[in-house]
Chains A and B, each alone.
Chain A
């Protein structure tokens, strides 16, 4: 390949040279260059190594279909692998490297694989390493797992950086009337026409320059800037560097905007990429067409590219790609390229596989000195790191026959054009085969989508412009509620294309690539057929055809044609595989946007968050909530801290932030009836000023949630739910009222954020409340007995709701105050507790206290537990019907041997055991065991570790039986004793007293 930059011409700025680095070598290009064009102008021809055989590869195209020049951009944490050099804009200081090669792409040790190429046929790795025959037959997966690690290293692409991504990414939302994809002649015509009709139009272009095909047509390029100015003036929003990668339901398009990937020193405030969710009412797809290769011997050599690519390098980048050029074509499109190259000074031979060539398409080129040979094509390319000659093939009555050799330094292929129908295909519409134009085109459909330009199989400029205007008319009509069709006829060539996919002659064995990126050859396709893979979907997965980063843009149609030939069918009978998003690869970073680190998920802080931190609390996550975990004193770890907190609560008093509990205001004349239907226990006669613990089931009879509900007034209740199930309960209650029980006059309001919650628990909790209350007479034992509720104020006029309820098993109060009063209320309560040698306690101590009492939480109520299983059967009324009351009585759920809630002690009281362990009968640690452990803690009251769990038949079934707590991956077996879940103060004297 003898490439040179021409002194004039193209869309590059020769006054602005840019420096960049390729495999450590300093090189230079110009502003407006792609990385590919700059490498080409610097005469770098070997830019990659193939996936399997490590064959040298050069540029094969000038666009997103590139399968040769796949490189790594950037260094360190910003290293970005598998970038197509053809779509990367050049910038000053760009650092690029070859990949999948050692020591370099020019001299790659891995190329030794090529010598054994005949063994590496389709399915080679699986066939060989699923147990090395005959010794490891039947070992299958095990053997594969071992070999896979080695194979993965040898075959492959670039390697991603292992460092954290230092760049920022954004999610953005957009709306428009009409989204136009592609800024070529058709897209521009559509956008202008639609905008002039008063529509809000967004036009997206994946390239770093707007213009599409016009960028590489001299006469169109001249007027491009005026056309773009006209578009802007008409109000069209133009977005370059933006790929429409997917089309979804409801007119939603996914766009990836590469904001800084083309900048040398991007400002820090800019995101690297922006992921757009664009909602349009109509989409015009003018995404162009991709030129196909042909399958022939050694068709992957550096120095072989599409004819269109040479035209782009010449007219857009001002590079003449060769001196002695051969073009092989089966259609008219290469003629223009041939004459441009000839005019630029190259010696050009055009091999047209068609025997009949109309004079009109010929005449234009002959005057420029192009040597046209009809009925000819190419059989094999010679040279390894470049092409120096080719073997010609000539049409014969029964196919092709080998002809003479011919010297050349560049080989251009035009095997026909594939319209980019991918986006339409994302809508579930299978493209149909157009045999006249030898390509897949859009089927008839009723989506608010129109195809335009070469994406609709239209090949001439005037036809493309016209189709764009028609698409705009269609779109505008649709927006006005009129039915319309875009009836664009494909075509535009003077001489019909010849369906040509492979040139081979028996006796001439060469590697001929169908999918160069995954090293899938024509023989691999035939082998797959021989082995019985007749469906294209199977063929694809077995040979990996079309599964590389280009997703079959280059080779799929050839693969289908070869399969059709092997099956003796036509291409449409074989069908095509489904295109799925994304059209081109998207970085994970863009998908995640700003949802990283602490922004990965929403964070809920209680109004007491800062208060807890100032008081020395260590926080932990409970769902989305940050809750205090423990309050360590100097020298304490979590173990010491929670044990001390637990002891202090039982001895004097403890104070805890319980804001995260769900809180729902249930109000209205039918509120009582409503609660009576959703809770298992009776609520009809709950007195005003009283709270009641209640359990809710799901429709299927399993426990959904538990909590207390306070009757504040006749028609006004305050319901609390568990932290974990707050949202689920709210949604379910709303569903009941809005769908099933529309007659009930009840209003629900989530007030979880409106109230701060503080639990005061311990023998001296009454004294603390009394000290804080504005009127101590209101909180006496008589005024506020167990399960009593009052609305009152604390000193300083702090409004509160207080209920005497207990989760800890101690005399305890829950105090709710409007969120903004939270810290002030906490200050007061805590100082009253502190003088009584009380403590602040966190989630860990809260857990220890409730485990000692056998109180259940989310760990036990996991959705598989019935009210009987949880030991709360007495809460299930048999005098009324409620949600779940029918299905909880299914025979299977009434069996005596269901796992029931139990307490667990270690046999040797000095031992520790783990939550998540399996409870098994001694000597029979296998399968699912007989039960499981849900929670463990050290119990200061009992002086040893205890647990809660479930075991078949419950406590009474396991008295005096040998049980082990099996934890094979961590602790092994611990002999345990199954006891009642009420392990501390079973009669509840401390709580009620």
Chain B
């Protein structure tokens, strides 16, 4: 027996142990780990990733060859396009701005929404239904219900807001409401509507479907996503001159230069 290869232990430390890994039982080790449930990453996963990357590369080249990125005239601070719109992924916020206070719509609501989103796993802590779309068939029904509920209500509220403003609701509020046209129309009513309708959705799915935590979370998330999409669609394709509401096919083209009249 010769000396084993590799670095030699220091005298007195011949029996060294190496701690390979400290792993919490519940995070990594799968119970009932069967060989037939697994596949080698090379080639099975890598081939999918490679094909997906190739298809998207080709698609991106094709789209980029076919459609040019927009470029308008050099910016001029004196010449405001009517309407001025944010990028489409922020038009949901711009749409919300039309219905309540700017700071509330543009900063407070999206911040609270993101914070709530981040908190979802700390509210719904069960492990039920991991890895299964919608968890249960009931979850799927609740998703459809919440999507319809939120879509219909958001459209209704947008139209209602337009109708009310057309008949002079803001003027009426500034004359008769305590706090004028700020307190009730811009703060209290929108806050009450957003919170109230969210709570109502939870109450309905609990009563109607006997929803548990995961299921009312599905309802509230679906509701948020639906509102987000409706606001994006309305902001993108239904707002024209002066950010007025139009039907998607009647939206007038943007006035490229709105010069303020004589003061």
Are A and B subunits of one complex?
Answer: no
Q: Which residues of A contact B (CB under 8 A)?
A: none
Q: Which residues of B contact A (CB under 8 A)?
A: none
